């Protein structure tokens, strides 16, 4: 699905990414974790087409990505909801841009809001919604377009611990119902282990290590010692205690 080849991104004289190589198979999930400033969000934004490579390339389904793909959904840390539009109108934006007929838009938006448990809040503006509710609207807005690739940048980081786990559970539930390729950037070790079949540990501008996560998909994994063992392995790579 995604092939990153010798990717470099510079901000002026600053090197944000240097010679990155990464493969993410179709319908698999990948969690990217690392310290602030290591380049993980830059990598995600380059996958999304929001940033251009300084060198190298990204292939999606075998085609070099040179612009924003309509089949790619993006969920930002701050949700990106338009404050002057209701939940319903925020979710319908992309469908309207694609010029679907009104009946089709109404059907898709109503279905998405109900599936994410926020149908009763459809006429509320973002300022009237809780953090978790706003995040659900952002997820609905992305998924209503039926993407084959979903990119999430710290999608639950602004939430408290309980709501963060609720959103993680929801994302896993939606993924298991309709698997798509999913890439999550996170600062949270626990979130990386819960949502990543593959966990990419980054250091400054590069990939330090890739961990295969055999426990992905178990919604009850948080209650098992295996989960904490995997978290510990990720932490060791982040702290530099492991060597290639």
Tell the CATH superfamily of the 1-27+35-68+195-206+224-237+240-244 domain. P-loop containing nucleotide triphosphate hydrolases (3.40.50.300)
Q: What is the pLDDT of residue 28?
A: 96
Report the 10 Å Cβ neighbour count for 92.
23
- Is the pLDDT reported for residue 235 higher than 90? yes
Residue ranges of domains in the chain = 1-27+35-68+195-206+224-237+240-244, 70-185
pLDDT, one tens digit per residue, over 179-199 is 999 999 999 999 999 999 999
Per-position b or e across 151-166, b if 16+ CB within 10 A of its CB:
bbbbbbeebeeebbbb
For 70-185, CATH number out of 3.40.50.300, 3.30.1180.20, 3.20.20.60, 3.40.50.1240 equals 3.40.50.300
Alpha helices in 87-213 (DSSP H): 87-97, 102-115, 131-143, 161-177, 189-195
Strands ordered across the beta sheet of 2-11: 14-24, 2-11, 55-60, 63-64
Mean pLDDT of the chain: 91
- CA–CA separation, 104 and 91 (whole Å): 13
pLDDT cut 70: percent of the chain above it: 98
- Is the pLDDT reported for residue 242 higher than 90? no
pLDDT, one tens digit per residue, over 34-70 is 998 899 999 999 999 999 999 999 999 988 888 888 8
Q: What is the pLDDT of residue 70?
A: 87
Shortest CA distance to 82 belongs to which of 71, 73, 93, 74?
93
- Is the pLDDT reported for residue 164 higher than 90? no
Domain 70-185 in the same topology as domain 1-27+35-68+195-206+224-237+240-244:
yes
For residues 14 and 218, is the Cβ–Cβ distance under 8 A? no
pLDDT, one tens digit per residue, over 103-142 is 999 999 999 999 888 999 999 999 999 888 898 899 899 9
Q: What is the pLDDT of residue 76?
A: 81
Q: What is the pLDDT of residue 244?
A: 43
pLDDT, one tens digit per residue, over 2-25 is 999 999 999 989 999 999 999 999
For 6, the 3-state DSSP assignment is strand
- CA–CA separation, 50 and 71 (whole Å): 14
Contacts of 7 (CB under 8 A, 6+ apart): 17, 19, 20, 21, 43, 46, 53, 55, 56, 57, 58
- Is the pLDDT reported for residue 156 higher than 80? no
The 8-class DSSP code of residue 242 comes to S
Q: What is the pLDDT of residue 241?
A: 52
């Amino acid at each position: 699905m995604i092939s990153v080849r010798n990717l470099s991104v510079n901000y002026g004289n600053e090197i944000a990414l240097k010679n990155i190589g990464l493969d993410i198979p179709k319908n698999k999930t990948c969690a990217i974790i690392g310290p602030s400033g290591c380049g993980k969000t830059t990598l995600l934004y380059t996958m999304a087409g929001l940033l251009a490579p300084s060198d190298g390339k990204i292939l999606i389904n075998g085609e070099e990505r040179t612009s924003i793909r309509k089949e790619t959904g993006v969920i930002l840390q701050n949700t990106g909801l338009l404050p002057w539009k209701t939940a319903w109108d925020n979710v319908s934006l992309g469908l309207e841009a694609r010029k679907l007929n009104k009946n089709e838009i109404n059907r898709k938006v109503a279905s998405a809001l109900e599936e994410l448990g926020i149908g009763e809040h459809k006429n509320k503006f973002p300022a009237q919604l809780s953090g978790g509710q706003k995040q659900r609207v952002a997820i609905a807005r992305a998924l209503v377009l039926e993407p084959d690739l979903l990119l999430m940048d710290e999608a639950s980081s602004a939430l408290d611990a309980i709501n963060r786990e609720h959103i993680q559970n929801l994302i896993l539930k939606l993924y298991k119902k309709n698997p798509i390729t999913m890439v999550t950037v996170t600062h949270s070790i626990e979130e990386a282990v819960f949502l990543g079949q593959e966990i990419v540990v980054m250091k400054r501008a590069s990939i330090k290590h890739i961990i295969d996560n055999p426990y992905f998909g178990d919604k009850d994994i948080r209650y098992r010692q295996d989960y904490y063992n995997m978290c510990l392995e990720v932490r060791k790579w982040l702290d530099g205690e492991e060597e290639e």
